[in-house]
């Protein structure tokens, strides 16, 4: 299995995924071109840390909206499991599902196999956050190989606000 490292200041792969409730979302494309898109990749319904994280994200969604950041949660879960996570967490932001292993690799994600059939029935992506700026460039990249290391959501919101207000450049491009 091969994955690639995404380039800071580059473009996120243009992956289009189905959304719960209908329609689709394309990573890196925003409904309002002046906004950012913050894509939160989560492991799936089997992950209690993901449920806690998405519940916290729900409490901050208005702050992200005020900061001009469109949120989307993404997993490899099929629609039924993604819907169960929405019901478990009360999440009301767009939720994309059915991310394939090939798409996970395209995004440079770490991929894990389930520990048992009780956990889940398929390999899944470990957590990641991608923030694409108004120019369609990857401004913030955070990728983890475990469920325990994730972007702090309050800090992420503060960062998006500060970077946008201060026109802070993309870092890590050397």
For the chain, 174 residues long, the average pLDDT of each consecutive 10-residue run is: 83 97 96 96 97 98 98 98 97 98 96 89 95 97 95 97 97 93
Q: How far apart are CA 78 and CA 29, in angstroms?
A: 22
- pLDDT at residue 72, rounded to an integer: 98
Instruction: Give the global pTM.
Output: 0.95
Q: Which residues have a Cβ under 8 Å from the Cβ of 114 and sit 6 or more positions away?
A: 46, 120, 121, 122, 123, 124
Instruction: List strands edge to edge, sheet with 69-74.
Output: 95-96, 69-74, 36-41, 128-132, 138-143
- pLDDT at residue 4, rounded to an integer: 81
- pLDDT at residue 54, rounded to an integer: 98
Q: Which fold has domain 35-164?
A: Glutaredoxin (3.40.30)
Burial call 69-78: b when 16+ CB within 10 Å, e when fewer: bbbbbbbbbe
- pLDDT at residue 11, rounded to an integer: 96
Write phi, then psi, for 51 (nearest 5 degrees). Answer: -60, -45
- pLDDT at residue 2, rounded to an integer: 64
List % helix, strand, coil for the chain (3-state, nearest 5): 30, 20, 50
């Amino acid at each position: 299995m091969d994955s690639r490292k995404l380039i800071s200041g580059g473009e996120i792969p243009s992956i289009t995924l189905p959304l719960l409730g209908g329609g689709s979302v394309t990573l890196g494309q925003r409904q309002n071109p002046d906004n950012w898109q913050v894509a939160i990749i989560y492991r799936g319904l089997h992950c209690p840390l993901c449920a806690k994280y998405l519940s916290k994200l729900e409490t901050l969604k208005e702050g992200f909206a005020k900061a001009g950041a469109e949120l989307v949660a993404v997993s490899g879960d099929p629609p039924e499991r993604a819907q169960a996570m929405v019901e478990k967490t009360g999440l009301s932001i767009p939720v994309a599902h059915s991310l394939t292993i090939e798409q996970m690799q395209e995004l440079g994600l770490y991929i894990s196999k389930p520990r048992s059939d009780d956990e889940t029935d398929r390999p899944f992506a470990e957590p990641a956050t991608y923030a694409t700026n108004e120019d369609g460039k990857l401004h913030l990249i955070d990728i983890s190989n475990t469920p325990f290391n994730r972007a702090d959501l309050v800090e992420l919101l503060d960062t998006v606000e500060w970077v946008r207000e201060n026109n802070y450049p993309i870092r890590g491009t050397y």
